[in-house]
Amino acid sequence: MPLEPEIQSLSYKKRRSFFFVLLLIFIIALPSFIFYSSGYRLNFDNEETTIVTTGGIYITTDNLEVDVYMDEERVERPRLFRSAYYIQNLESGLHRVVVQRPGLHTWVKVLPVDANIVTEAAAFNMPELPHIRPIAEYLNQGGQGVFVVKGSTSTPLFTKATTTGDFIVVNRATPATLRVNSEHEYVVDLFGSTTATSTSIINRLEEEIDRLTTTSPVATTSTTTPLAYIEQGEMRLVEYGDELAARWIGSGPSTPHYFCSPQAASSTVALRLGLHFAQQIEEQSLSTTTPLHIEGDRVCRTEIRLDRKWQKIKYYEFFPRSSDLVVLQLEDGLYVTEIDDRAWQNTQLIYPGDSFRTYVTDTNIYIEENGHYFELLTKIDEDN
C-alpha cells in the first residue's frame, strides 16, 4: 500500500500547456472557418494551390422525388429538408440547372452565380399527362360518383386525362336512390351562369372602375393602362391589352430576387439573365409608372411580363397557394408559368384543349368540359 496517493492533481503547468495548445488551434481554426463559410476554397487543380472564391445555388422543388442536375451532373438528394437543394462550391459564371422526373415536365434554367453569393430559384414540375378527379353530379348510397349521360355509357367521359376516384356512368333518369353531390353544386356555383373567364374579367373591370373613381392608390397607370388585376400576397397580375404582367407591390427590400439584378452594364445583364431582362431594365428605367428601384447593390424591376406563347389569354389566376406561379388558359390549353424570367420562363402545359372553362380557387384548379366538372390535380404520388 503506497503512503501517498499515486495520482496527483492535474498540475498547473499541464493545464496551461493544454490551454495554449487549444488557443493555438482556435487562432488557426477561426480564420479558416470564416473563410470557408464565406465561400473561399483551396483549389488543387493546378500545379500551384490557389484560393478561389465560390458561390452557390439554392433550389427548392415542389416534388421530393425529382432529380436535380447541375451542369449535367446529378446532385445528391439532401437527407434533411428534401425539397431544398443547396449546391456549394460553384465557380462564378452561368450554370445550367435541370430538375426532372419521368412523367413530369422538366424544369430548366440557366442561372448566374457570383462569388460569395447564393443564387436562389424555385423549380416546379407539373404532370405531363393530366390527372383529374371527376366531380359527379350525384352520389350513390356507397358514396360513389354518378355521371348521367344522354348517349352510350361506354363512351369515355374524360379522354385527355387519367382519373382518380370511383365513379360510374348511367343514362337513366335520376333514380331515387341517388343524392345530389354538394361539391358539384359548389363547383357549378363557382363557374356561375356565364363563362368563368368572361365573368372574371368583367367583375374585375367593374372593380377597377370603382377604384379609379374613388382614387384608390392601387389604381395605377402605365404607358398602357392596366385593364384589371388580381393580387396574391404582395404580387399583382395586371393586364395590358393582350399582355399580362406580374407586378411587385410590396416593399423594396422584400422584392423577390428574380425581379432584380446586380447593378451592371446592360450587356452584362443580358449575358447573365437574358436579353429580355436587360431590355426591361432599360424600359423601366425610363418609365415613371413602373420605375426601377435600387436596393443596395441591386437594381429591381417593378414588373415582369409573362410568356403567353403568342396566344390570347382566356383566363389567368395565381397558382393555388403560390405567388410565384401563374395559371394561364391560352388558346390551346391550360398552362402553369413562372414569373421568374431569368434566362427564360418555364411554362408547362397541364391540360390541353380549346373548349373548356377554368376556375382556380385558393386551393384547387377546377375545369368544366362538355358539361362535366373535375378538379385538375397537379401533384402525382411521389412514390410512383
Binding site for another protein (CB under 8 A): 1-7, 9-10, 12, 15, 18-19, 22, 25-26, 29-30, 33-34, 36-39, 54-56, 58, 86, 88, 116-118, 120, 253-254, 257, 295-297
Q: What is the dihedral of CA 373, 379, 382, 384, to 10 degrees?
A: 50
Cell numbers of 122, please? Answer: 424555385
Instruction: Supply the minimum distance, in Å, between the C-beta of residue 88 and another protein.
Output: 8
DSSP letter, residue 354: S
Instruction: Supply the minimum distance, in Å, between the C-beta of residue 65 and another protein.
Output: 24
Cell numbers of 208, please? Answer: 377597377
Instruction: Supply the minimum distance, in Å, between the C-beta of residue 24 and another protein.
Output: 10
**Comparison of 177 and 251: residue with beta carbon closer to another protein:** 251
**Comparison of 75 and 228: residue with beta carbon closer to another protein:** 75
* CA–CA distance, 146 with 140 (Å, rounded to integer): 7
User: Residue 302's CB: how many other CB atoms inside 10 A?
Assistant: 22
Q: Which of 129, 130, 128 lies closest to 100 in space, CA to CA?
A: 128
**Comparison of 38 and 171: residue with beta carbon closer to another protein:** 38
**Comparison of 36 and 186: residue with beta carbon closer to another protein:** 36
Instruction: Supply the minimum distance, in Å, between the C-beta of residue 34 and another protein.
Output: 6
Instruction: Supply the minimum distance, in Å, between the C-beta of residue 253 and another protein.
Output: 6
Instruction: Supply the minimum distance, in Å, between the C-beta of residue 206 and another protein.
Output: 38
Distance from chain centroid for Cα 364: 16
**Comparison of 22 and 212: residue with beta carbon closer to another protein:** 22
Instruction: Supply the minimum distance, in Å, between the C-beta of residue 158 and another protein.
Output: 45
Contacts of 281 (CB under 8 A, 6+ apart): 261, 266, 269, 292, 299, 301
**Comparison of 7 and 176: residue with beta carbon closer to another protein:** 7
**Comparison of 297 and 383: residue with beta carbon closer to another protein:** 297
Instruction: Supply the minimum distance, in Å, between the C-beta of residue 38 and another protein.
Output: 5
Instruction: Supply the minimum distance, in Å, between the C-beta of residue 29 and another protein.
Output: 5
- Find out whether 83 and 61 touch, Cβ atoms under 8 Å: yes
Instruction: Indicate the SS3 state at residue 283.
Output: helix
Cα atoms in the Cβ-side hemisphere of radius 13 Å centred on 197: 18
Contacts of 345 (CB under 8 A, 6+ apart): 306, 307, 337, 338, 339
For 234, counting Cβ atoms within 10 Å of its Cβ (0-12 exposed, 13-18 middle, 19+ buried), the class is middle
* CA–CA distance, 262 with 55 (Å, rounded to integer): 15
Cell numbers of 279, please? Answer: 431590355
CA distances from 139 to 102, 215, 364, 368 (A): 35, 50, 21, 18
**Comparison of 130 and 256: residue with beta carbon closer to another protein:** 256
**Comparison of 10 and 176: residue with beta carbon closer to another protein:** 10
